Amino acid sequence: MTVELICVGTELLLGNIVNTNAAFISEKCAMLGLSMYYQSVVGDNAGRLEHLLRTAKERSDVIILSGGLGPTQDDLTKETAAEVMGRKLVEDERAKKEIKDCLAKLGRTITENNWKQSLVPEGSTVLYNSNGTAPGIIMEDGDTRMILLPGPPNELVPMFEEQVYPYLRDLQPEMICSRMVKLCGIGESAAETKILDLLSAQKNPTVAPYAKTGEVHLRITAKAENEKKALAMIEPVEEELRQRFGNHVYTDDPEVTLEMAAAELLKERKLTVTTAESCTGGLLAGRLVNVPGISDYFKEGYITYSNEAKEKLLGVSHETLEAYGAVSSQTAAEMAEGGAKAAGADLCVSVTGIAGPEGGTKEKPVGLVYVGCYCKGKVFTEKRLYSGSRSKIREYSVANALTFLRKIILEETKG
Amino acid sequence: MTVELICVGTELLLGNIVNTNAAFISEKCAMLGLSMYYQSVVGDNAGRLEHLLRTAKERSDVIILSGGLGPTQDDLTKETAAEVMGRKLVEDERAKKEIKDCLAKLGRTITENNWKQSLVPEGSTVLYNSNGTAPGIIMEDGDTRMILLPGPPNELVPMFEEQVYPYLRDLQPEMICSRMVKLCGIGESAAETKILDLLSAQKNPTVAPYAKTGEVHLRITAKAENEKKALAMIEPVEEELRQRFGNHVYTDDPEVTLEMAAAELLKERKLTVTTAESCTGGLLAGRLVNVPGISDYFKEGYITYSNEAKEKLLGVSHETLEAYGAVSSQTAAEMAEGGAKAAGADLCVSVTGIAGPEGGTKEKPVGLVYVGCYCKGKVFTEKRLYSGSRSKIREYSVANALTFLRKIILEETKG
């Protein structure tokens, strides 16, 4: 069964707001196994919306619209959709009452155009709105279903979850399940090369790679008559991916991030960590602190942007800074060791590099970054060279530092 | 002149990611006075993309595509677009060399599929990519123009600003100039209320508000036959906005961020700053370090996530933590004062709060955040209550801390 999404709103075409409704609805539809092939955004223009609706009606089973259900003259989604579905608009008593109550609660005076929102296409299912004055609508015409939802996310989200999701689930003959296998420490091309055979052979289940900053995510998706069978189809594929990528796989849980995976290892092995950052300037610690409850494993971190701070807070030796410079494996190593000592932590990850745009030399170009990791008496360092903007170099440095931390824990400590 | 946007990516149809590229490109096109009537999202499917491209070619002058330029087999945007424009794909020597250099720099082994990215439609303008391996493409066919951009925002954004924006501007008969007046420390609705009269009266120039995290940006746009005239139309409107918003205005330069504005004040007034962070865990320092050359004013920062660290690194008194708790104005004040002393800095900004999802109480709910600022012997604090996710609460806390730092510098030091 195919679904198509049409978001109505000039503010989207002008880029005033980011279309979070599209991501929300798309994810829910994917979970339901509905195949979404098209998303569109149009302004509050009856002609273009009508044309788009007629096209959608030809090619999709379910058409979901968001926005344009307001009380003003330029809100025409309902009028246009009713026209395309050949319905008259009739007043809905309950909707009228709820609009009255809602506006009274908000202490707003009711104006004539408010009653526009109590009109619904005849023979449609009304989705009453507990968070606003615009009711949603479901219209059915043979195998075609049109679902109208209000634009504001705080109205659309609960209406979708409480009334639309169950409706769509009951339409589904097949169950779709997907699992995300997340990799770190390997690039998109290298990752794909390892599974070219799987990618070319695939039908059901399918594997799709997504490149993220310093990560590659592989989504396995299977369709079957029920969840049990879909999961049974996914299992062997995931097993194969784990075989091929080994320790590069850090999770198969869509909710788990790289920092959460690292934190989980700290928890499992009862280790504490601290951070000693130069060019990343706190972003590494900032990502660790994304993890709720990290305070048990991460107590403090150091941002040592100047050489003086590296000496003062981390005890990096003046001689090392003089001889090798702040951006060197020697400094990264001393930062890591000194940080661990200062914080009394089992581990310390350090990052020092040249994020640019200035400060690069022939020997030490912009993008040169050293990461260090102290772990129980030993120090490890790694050299990287990134291209791109200052912020990109810093983001990749952070992802790489988390990957390096995870690698050292796996290799140097016992599970 | 009309523009149409087509974003290619199954990850968008599955709702894996929010389509921020659409908002970014739409906003830029609006600045250029291009009329955007349609945005679409399609998956990595040649048939559907081709159909959409042929439709777009009929109804729009400029077609901008994003995504699907990667090295993997399911990246088909370039192949399909070339087909629709009737072009063969030919190897671009410079693209090939840059891909080689980029991957070598990243220390990645080059795999066969990487060379796919060095193919370009014959007779097209190649947009070389300094942040990745996928070059962008501009194809012209009579009055139709097709622009292909890589999907990752950190590649798309700089490519658009440096190469596509100037190209589109030169297509415009009228000169469109715009200026962004950026505000901090005031909410969107409060800001709009102050300029309702301007918003309703406007024709040319226009004022459009954009809500950002902890900021409101007001864009003034004027159309005229030349730049001089357009700017002359903008001046009085900007003056009026500066009158109404006073110190809330931190810049009128689109390139200047809130952290850059704060850094500029530090430079101008010869002040040094440090950071003492709890719930933000380094993100505040991370934003200051976004500013190239910040090392002259920011030497070091402290991440004190545990109470012990607050005592050890910042000298927050055990009694204060016992009596008022870690999330209190008293602790925020002692963190700021202690941080400034420890770093020997003129100023110190501190943040302590409950980012959630756990840890909230009736008296101290999730979202409660205190910011402190020490400035030359005095300490100031501010209380805030944010709603939303852990990451949202932390992002708003950082923006608010930068706003508070700027406010204190303006009010407590001499220019």
What mean pLDDT is predicted for residues B354-366? 93
Task: Tell me, yes or no, whether B302 and B399 share the same domain.
Answer: yes
Task: Tell me, yes or no, whether B229 and B302 share the same domain.
Answer: no
What's the pLDDT at A102?
Answer: 82
Q: Which residue of B has its CA nearest to A18?
A: B23
What's the pLDDT at B254?
Answer: 83
Residues 6+ apart with CB under 8 A from A270: none
Task: Tell me, yes or no, whether B267 and B195 share the same domain.
Answer: no
pLDDT digits (tens, 9 = 90+) for B125-143: 999 998 888 999 999 999 9
Contacts of A292 in chain B (CB under 8 A): 356-358, 390
Task: Tell me, yes or no, whether A240 and A360 share the same domain.
Answer: no
Contacts of A286 in chain B (CB under 8 A): 280-283, 286, 394
pLDDT digits (tens, 9 = 90+) for B59-111: 999 999 999 998 888 899 999 999 999 999 999 999 999 988 888 877 778 88
As a residue count, chain B comes to: 415
Kindly tell me if the per-residue pLDDT of B415 is higher than 80: no
Kindly tell me if the per-residue pLDDT of B294 is higher than 90: yes
Task: Tell me, yes or no, whether A141 and A22 share the same domain.
Answer: yes
Residues 6+ apart with CB under 8 A from B61: B1, B2, B3, B143, B144, B145
CATH of the domain at B75: 3.40.980.10
B414: confidence class by pLDDT, cuts 50, 70, 90:
confident
Q: Do A392 and B154 touch (CB under 8 A)?
A: yes
Q: Where are the alpha helices (DSSP H) in B93-252?
A: 93-105, 153-159, 165-171, 188-194, 196-201, 227-245
What's the pLDDT at B200?
Answer: 80
Domains held by chain B: number:
3
What mean pLDDT is predicted for residues B298-302? 97
Shortest distance between the Cα of B109 and any Cα of chain A, in A, equals 7
CATH of the domain at B372: 3.90.950.20
* Closest residue by Cα to residue A324 from A334, A315, A314: A334
Task: Tell me, yes or no, whether B142 and B192 share the same domain.
Answer: no
Contacts of A397 in chain B (CB under 8 A): none
Nearest beta carbon to residue B292 from set A14, A292, A357: A357
Nearest beta carbon to residue B37 from set A26, A42, A313: A42
CATH of the domain at A184: 3.30.70.2860
User: Of the candidates A211, A228, A251, which is a domain's last residue?
Assistant: A251
**Structure-model confidence comparison of residues B30 and B283, the more confident one:** B283
What's the pLDDT at B296?
Answer: 93
Task: Tell me, yes or no, whether B147 and B22 share the same domain.
Answer: yes
Nearest beta carbon to residue A37 from set B43, B113, B211: B43
Residues 6+ apart with CB under 8 A from B102: A387, B132, B133
Task: Tell me, yes or no, whether B132 and B118 share the same domain.
Answer: yes
Task: Tell me, yes or no, whether B166 and B180 share the same domain.
Answer: no
Q: Do A37 and B20 touch (CB under 8 A)?
A: no
Give chain B's mean pLDDT. 93
Shortest distance between the Cα of A202 and any Cα of chain B, in A, equals 12
Contacts of B40 in chain A (CB under 8 A): 38-41
User: Of the candidates A251, A286, A304, which is a domain's last residue?
Assistant: A251
Q: In a mutagenesis test of the B interface, which of A16, A44, A189 is the best target, namely the one with the most B β-carbons within 10 Å? A: A189
Residues 6+ apart with CB under 8 A from B342: B274, B302, B313, B314, B315
**Dihedral pair phi/psi, residue B246, rounded to 5°:** 50, -130
Nearest beta carbon to residue B283 from set A18, A282, A308: A282
Task: Tell me, yes or no, whether A56 and A197 share the same domain.
Answer: no
User: Of the candidates B185, B218, B251, which is a domain's last residue?
Assistant: B251
In Å, how far from its chain's centre is CA A133? 30
Task: Tell me, yes or no, whether A80 and A132 share the same domain.
Answer: yes
- Burial of A353-370, coded b for 16+ CB within 10 Å and e otherwise, reads bbbbeebeeeeeebbbbb
Omega within 30 of 0 (cis) for the link into A173:
no
What's the pLDDT at A164?
Answer: 97
* Closest residue by Cα to residue A180 from A91, A254, A93, A261: A254
Task: Tell me, yes or no, whether B20 and B135 share the same domain.
Answer: yes
Shortest distance between the Cα of A362 and any Cα of chain B, in A, equals 14
Q: Which residue of A has its CA nearest to B308?
A: A299
Q: Which residues pair with B138 in a beta bridge?
A: B125, B147
* ipTM of predicted assembly, 2 dp: 0.79
Q: Which residue of B has its CA nearest to A51?
A: B38
Range of the domain at A347: 258-412
pLDDT < 50 regions, chain A: none
pLDDT digits (tens, 9 = 90+) for A31-64: 787 889 999 999 888 999 999 999 999 999 999 9
Using the Cβ of A161 and the Cβ atoms of chain B, whether some distance falls under 8 Å is answered with: no
What's the pLDDT at A214?
Answer: 93
